[in-house]
Structure 1
C-alpha cells in the first residue's frame, strides 16, 4: 500500500518516512497519531490538524505554516527550523520537543504549554495570544520580544542571551531560572520575583530594566560588588 492509501486506511501511523511530502490534501478529517515518523521538510501548511498527536517524530524544517493545530500534542522528537508561522495553536501541548530555531511569528499561542523543550534560537516575537506557558525549557538566544508573561510562574527556564526586549514580566515569579546576558530593552519587571533567578552581573542598562523587581540580599550584594562596593 502506498503512503496515500495508508493515510486513508488508518489514523495510527508509526515509523513512516513522510519526509518532503506534500500532506495537506491527503490527510483525512479525523485526528492522526504519528509515532516515530520522519516529517523532515514535509508540507503541512494550512492543514487541518486539530487534535493530532506527534510522538517522537523528526520535524526538521517541517512546514506547519497557517495550519490549525488546536489541541495538538507533540511529545518528544522535534528538529531544527520547524515553521509554525501563522498557525493556530490554541491549547497545544509541547513536551520534551526539540524546537531549536522554530519560528512562531503571527501564530496564535493561547493556552499553549512548552515543558522540557529545547528552544534555542526559537522566534516567538510577533506571536498572538497572551498566555503561553514555559517550564523547564531552554530558550537561550530565543527572540521573545514583545511577549507578555504577566503574573506567570517560571520554573527551570533558561533565558540566557535571549531577546526579552519590551516583554512584560509584571508580577511574574522565577524559580531556578537564568537570565544571564539577556537583552532587556524596555522590559518590565514591576513586582516580579527574581530571587530564584540567576541574573548574572547586569550592566547599567539591564539594571535599569530591573527597576521594580524583587531580588535577594545576595543578588543585591553581587550587583554592588561588581561596581566596587562591599556590603557588610
Structure 2
C-alpha cells in the first residue's frame, strides 16, 4: 500500500459495512465516522452534503456518481473506481488514494489539501479551481490531463509527469522544473516566468 505523507498511519476503523449496494440512491447529509466500507457500490449515487470522516473504502465503486458539498475527511481509498464520478465543492482534506482508477473523474472546486495521490493516474481526470495545498502528487501521471486554476502551493510534485497537461491558472510555486516532466504542458506567460525563475534564470524587461 502507498504510504501517507511523513509516514502517517491510516486512521483505525471501528465498524464494517461489507458488500452494500447504494446504487442510484439519493444520499443527503449522512454522517459516517471510522467505518470500513468493503465492496461498496455507490454507482450513480447522488450525494449531497454527506460527511465521511476517518473511513476506509476498499474496492468501492463510485462510477458515474455525483457528489455536491460532501466531505471525505482523512479517509483511505484502496482500489476504488471513480469512473465518470463528479465532485463539486467537496472536501477530501487528508485523504489517501492507493491503486484507484480516476478515468473521466471531474472535480470542480473543493478542498483536497494534504490529500495523498502518489503515483495516481490522472491522465483522463480533470480538476478545476480546487485547493490542493501540500497534496502528495509524487510520481502522478497527468499526461494530457487538466489541472486548471488549482492551488498547488506546497504540493509534492517530484517525478510527476505533466507532459501536455493543461496547467493554466494553477499555482506552480512548488514546482521544481528539473524534477518533473513538462514537455508540451500548457501554461500562461506568467507561469512561464515562475518556471524560468525556478530554473535560476534572471528574467528582465527589455531595455
Shorter chain as normaliser: what TM range?
0.7 to 0.9
Q: What RMSD over aligned residues (CA atoms) do the two structures have, in Å?
A: 2.4
Larger strand percent: 2
Q: Which one scores higher on RCO, CA 8 angstroms, separation ≥ 6? A: 2
Quote the residue 1:170 is aligned against.
Answer: 143
Q: Which residue of 1 aligns with 2:55?
A: 82
> In the aligned structure 1, how far is the partner of 2:102 from the partner of 2:175?
30
Deviations 1:177-230 (A, max 9, x none): 122222223321111122211112533554x34343222222222333453612
Structure 2 vs 1, CA of residues 151 and 70 (structure 1 numbering), >3 Å: closer, same or farther? closer
Corresponding residue number in structure 1 for 2:8: none
Find the structure with the greater CA-based Rg: 1
Counterpart Cα distance in 1 of 2:181 and 2:59: 31
Cα deviation for residue 76 of structure 1 reads 0.3
| Partner residue, 1:137 | 110
Aligned counterpart for 1:219 among listed residues 191, 200, 204:
191
- Corresponding pairs, count: 192
Conserved? CA contact 2:91–2:111, under 8 Å: yes
Q: 1:228 to 1:123 in 2, by over 3 A?
A: same
Q: Is the Cα contact below 8 Å between 1:135 and 1:154 reproduced in 2?
A: yes
Structure 1 residue 159 displacement after superposition = 2.0
What is aligned with 1:95? 68
Q: Distance in 1 between matches of 2:140 and 2:49?
A: 28
CA 1:130–1:193: 2 relative to 1, 3 Å:
closer
Runs of 5+ in structure 1 lacking a partner?
Answer: 1-39
Contact 2:139–2:160 (8 Å) recurs in 1: yes
Q: Is the 8 A contact 2:27 2:47 kept in 1?
A: yes
Structure 1 pair 104–91 and aligned structure 2 pair: CA distance change class (3 A)? same
Shift in Å, 1:67? 1.7
Aligned counterpart for 2:93 among listed residues 115, 120, 138: 120
Offset at 1:56?
0.9
In 1, Cα distance between equivalents of 2:84 and 2:174: 33
| Structure 2 CA distance for aligned equivalents of residues 142 and 103 of structure 1 | 10
Superposition TM-score, scaled by structure 1 size: 0.72
Change (3 A) 1:204 1:190: closer
**Structure 1 CA distance, aligned partners of 2:174 and 2:36?**
39
After superposition, what is the alpha-carbon deviation per residue over 1:127-169, rounded to whole angstroms, capped at 9, x for unaligned? 1353322111211111112222225442111222111123222
- 1:114 Cα deviation (Å)? 1.5
